[in-house]
Amino acid sequence: MHGAMRSFSLDALRRNGKKGQMMRRASIVATVALLTGCATGGSDIRPAMCGWLVSYAPAFQKRAAEELDALPASAALRVLVEDYGELRARIRAACAP
């Protein structure tokens, strides 16, 4: 169905000629304007972000590492935990004085 809708749109643009091109350009300009409007103002989220990291006790970290080591090498949870660790490292780096 999506392909049929795309064909219909392209056919409509071809039939409408310059009017279709103008409508397409107008929609692109409107989209860019809306997206640009979202980017104005302060975008530094570091002050809020730096409070996101939870501290874990060393004993808890050790237990988590042992549980992670017990997982099969192909476990999806390993990928998720590695991604989480990378995210934590990036937040720590961004929040460093």
Round to the nearest angstrom and report the end-to-end CA distance of the chain. Answer: 54
Domain ranges for the chain: 2-38, 46-95
Instruction: Please list the helix, strand and coil fractions of the chain in percent, rounded to the nearest 5, in that order.
Output: 75, 0, 25
The pTM is what?
Answer: 0.48
Asked if pLDDT for residue 24 goes beyond 50, the answer is yes
What tens digit of pLDDT does each residue of 51-91 get? 778 889 999 999 999 999 999 999 999 999 999 999 989 98
